[in-house]
Amino acid sequence: MERAVIAVCLVLLALNARAAFTIDKSVMSDDYWQIWNDDVQAKIDADIERYRKSDCEVKIGGEGEGEVPVGTEVTVEQISHGFFFGAQIFNFNQLGKKEWNDRYKELFGTLFNSATVPFYWRTLETHPYAPRFEERYEDTENFWNSCPQPKEQAHWRRPATDPVVDFLKLRRCRIHGHPLVWGNPGHRPAWMWTNFCPEAEKRALEARTGVEIPVIDEGINFGVAWQKVFDQLSEAEIAAIVPTFVKNYERLYERRIREIAERYGDRVDSWDVVNESATDYHHWQQEKAVRGVPCQKTGCYGLMPGDYTYKGFLWAQKYLPKTAWLNLNDYDMAPYFFKQAKDLEANGVRVDVVGSQMHLFDPAESVNIRLGKGPEHLRPEKIAERFRLLSQAGKPIHLSEITITAPDNSTSGQMVQAVILRNLYRAWFSVEKMCGITWWNVVDDCGAPGEPSISGLFTRDMRPKTAYLAMDDLINREWKTREKVKVEGQGPQRTIRFRGFRGWYCLSWKGADGRSVTKLVEVK
């Protein structure tokens, strides 16, 4: 253990030796800096000091540590964060060159202490009852290194989960699974309707409505067809026409959660149990988590099991260990999002964390921010207001998906992205209930279809962009405590005192006999 602690400290010292990141304030307008003025920055600093740090008193000396004279100098070196700084790891081994993949993977455990692993049902289980947990040839680095058109592969950004989880365990990263339940066509298996609705029921639904549901759920057109059904039939009427499908749909969802829990329950730390359900809760569920409906209409997604958000949490609570955090995740931060969280708990399910998304997908938005004309919700006072509202749910907050797009990849464009990132991360880090921030697309041109190609922290060939330098400076320099303190005490009692960011620390000193001693402590 001692050698491992010393090795970690040496790595951190090497990281600290790099030149600190310097902001070029001139790339932003005067109007921008009037919004993010010195008073705002001072308030952020004060809140970070208040909410992200703790006082620590540690006993020094005793068994295994030897005699420590008063006045001995102790080096206090933070080696990990209690706060979660994450990213999704969807491009694991997929970047096309070993050196690029190695740089990508090295980020986890050095920059990021948390990773979001994809458990999208549609690509994890392309055939019924055969989930792709284990690595197959098409998941290997060799496959992707010889693949001329990686983005045309159905499993692009969707690696097999076993090797990713194994890797993250070796890197001592916190693991977040995303998602268990989601109505989006990008999640629902293409075979669900084809294989688990009897032909007689399909024909009966078509005869009743005149709507032809596509044979295979290929996504958008499938959802559009269901919206036409929704215009004509109630949920009870739909269930009466396709009862076998409705029962199978719910059965398979529960089976999926049980199967994932059996394999990863003691290995994955937290889950987005239900993703992006707030709009359905507000509109279709009429702000009720439990309506007792057999199936449920959803906005543009198609049909879902009845009360799917409530049941999803019930199943997760039933099959996952109590140590796993259960998250409710959404982009829609209207008041009914936190009402949904409270309503779910009132109906007997556990919601541990509320997840909030923020995607700046359009480069023009970053240009407007630079000019001081950006989205209102990203002004400091609006950020504080939004999270005051979200905090009313009484839960830790996970900023679960973050995208900040550069206006372009010129030197000044990259600096604009970096400045926006730095100020927003500082504002978010200062929120009392915040427990983690997860960046979305780490590498340029590796997002989902329709997402921007210049929103990464690295170029497509894994060259660091200015935004990476800004993030690294915050996580590994500005927000890590490093200092030297003197041993205090009277009689045999010896202590040190310091105030630092929450996380694990390596303490090191030389005892009275000249022997180097290290000690691990956690600041909570």
Q: What is the pLDDT of residues 15-55, one digit of tens each?
A: 555 568 999 999 999 999 999 999 999 999 999 999 999 99
**What letters, b where the CB count within 10 A reaches 16 and e where it falls short, cover 164-201?**
bbebbeebebbbbbbbbbbbbbebbbbebbeebbeeee
In contact, 436 and 114? CB cutoff 8 Å: yes
DSSP H helical ranges for 197-349: 199-209, 220-232, 235-241, 243-264, 278-283, 308-319, 335-346
Tabulate helix, strand, coil % of the chain (nearest 5). 40, 20, 40
Decide if pLDDT at 7 tops 70: no
Identity at 266, one-letter amino acid code: D
The β-bridge partners of 520 are 506
In contact, 323 and 268? CB cutoff 8 Å: no
Q: DSSP strand E in 22-103: where?
A: 53-59, 73-81, 84-88
Residue 5 pLDDT: 47
Structure tokens at 156: 């692009």
Confidence of residue 92 (pLDDT cuts 50, 70, 90): very high
Residue 2 pLDDT: 46
In contact, 219 and 88? CB cutoff 8 Å: no
- Domains of the chain from N-terminus onward: 1-36+352-478 (no CATH), 48-79+480-524 (2.60.40)
Residue 18 pLDDT: 59
Q: What is the pLDDT of residues 321-347, one digit of tens each?
A: 999 999 999 998 888 998 999 999 999
The β-bridge partners of 443 are 458
Element (H, E) at 507: strand 503-510
What φ, ψ does residue 241 adopt, rounded to 5°? Answer: -85, -40
In contact, 363 and 416? CB cutoff 8 Å: no
Supply the mean pLDDT for the chain.
94
* 458-479 average pLDDT score: 98
